[in-house]
Amino acid sequence: MSREKNIIYLARFVSALFTPFYLPLIGLILLFTFSYLALMPIGYRLMIITIAYVATILLPTCLIHFYRRYQGWTLIELGQRERRMVPYAISIVCYLGCVGVFMYLNVFRFVSSIILSALLVQIVCGIINVWWKISTHTAAIGGVAGALLSFSAIFGFDPIWWLCVVLIVAGMLGSARMILRQHSLSQVVGGFAIGFVCASLGILYF
């Protein structure tokens, strides 16, 4: 019994650690660190990262938390398919706001493409959620994998080791979501596939 509890606690930790909201910000930080954009002034990079943090993490997290508290739901209850539409709408509006600010500031296309790709993932998952509960956790990590391969093609670097790490995290995250009985195997795999395709197309064509 103790072993089962430990597994559940570990699954909750992994699920919370790799929450979908953080992954676009991580992508921006990596882009500003390992690409030619690292030559940009530190103040400019910090400003862009701060805007992305407020718009894609802080604001949607707070609004969804207030909405859940207003409804009197637990996190598990909020995870029910029919109750996920408002959180989807909140996150989509926040991401749209971030894209609008980036367009106003004329930031580099590669920077905006990360947020646009994450927005596309959110929209597609939101539409699918009308009929079928999809895993946004694995959609987000699938987006990281797709973005990684796209950026490797653009900047000409070998992504194999980074990709191995991402796939290991994806396996851990998908397992955690199934252990917590939030998703089935098909929902986890479907989420990863959607994130991968949306991010790949978004980075290459936005």
Cα 143 to Cα 10, 86, 137, 160: the distances in Å are 23, 22, 10, 16
Average pLDDT of the residues of the chain: 87
Q: At what angle do helices 109-128 and 22-34 cross, to 10 degrees?
A: 160
Q: Are 12 and 173 in contact (CB under 8 A)?
A: no
Q: Kindly state the tokens that stand for 91.
A: 């996150």
Residue 189: pLDDT band with limits 50, 70, 90: very high
Which H/E stretch holds residue 8? helix 2-17
How many domains is the chain partitioned into structurally?
Answer: 1
Residue 1: pLDDT band with limits 50, 70, 90: low
Question: What are 9-27's pLDDT values in tens digits?
Answer: 898 888 888 888 887 888 8
| Nearest one of 124, 90, 129 to 193, comparing CA atoms | 124
Domain that holds residue 75: 2-205
Give the contacts of 33 (CB within 8 A, at least 6 positions apart). none
Residue 192: pLDDT band with limits 50, 70, 90: very high
Question: What are 146-162's pLDDT values in tens digits?
Answer: 988 888 888 888 889 98
Question: What are 66-99's pLDDT values in tens digits?
Answer: 998 888 887 777 777 778 888 889 999 999 999 9
Sign of CA dihedral 105, 111, 116, 118: negative
